[in-house]
Amino acid sequence: MRIEGHTIIFSSSPVNWLKEQDGRKPNTTRYIPLHEVHEYMLQMNEPDGIMYAGDSLTEIKNIRIINSVSKQPFERQLTDVTFADINMMPVFIFSWKHEASLLNK
């Protein structure tokens, strides 16, 4: 995981990437290790489903997912981020509305 501006970036296996990219699975569930939560200073506005990063509280508006084999990316505008504490591990569900990739605009 990394963050660039308003975009959070993840890698997905080719099978999951295809489902995420073509709209069959317009979400991804991610465990973000505590050291990365602290490093990026991630914060949640849970009622509104918005994630913020850094001291300036930059809103994370987009998600870019990169195919772990082909390295092909796609990017979507986030519609919701949901936090779940599963066995004391920070898990986030990132959801988006399927549309053309923001990288092609």
The torsion angles phi and psi of 83, rounded to 5 degrees, stand at -100, 140
103 part of a folded domain: no
Per-residue pLDDT of the chain (105 residues; tens, 9 = 90+): 999 999 999 999 999 999 999 999 999 999 999 999 999 999 999 999 999 999 999 999 999 999 999 999 999 999 999 999 999 899 999 999 988 667 755
pTM exceeds 0.85, yes or no: yes
Number of structural domains the chain divides into: 1
Would you state the pLDDT for residue 99?
81
105 part of a folded domain: no
Would you state the pLDDT for residue 83?
95
Give the residue numbers spanning the domain of 76: 2-98
Would you state the pLDDT for residue 98?
87
54 part of a folded domain: yes
29 part of a folded domain: yes
Residue 54 DSSP code: T
39 part of a folded domain: yes
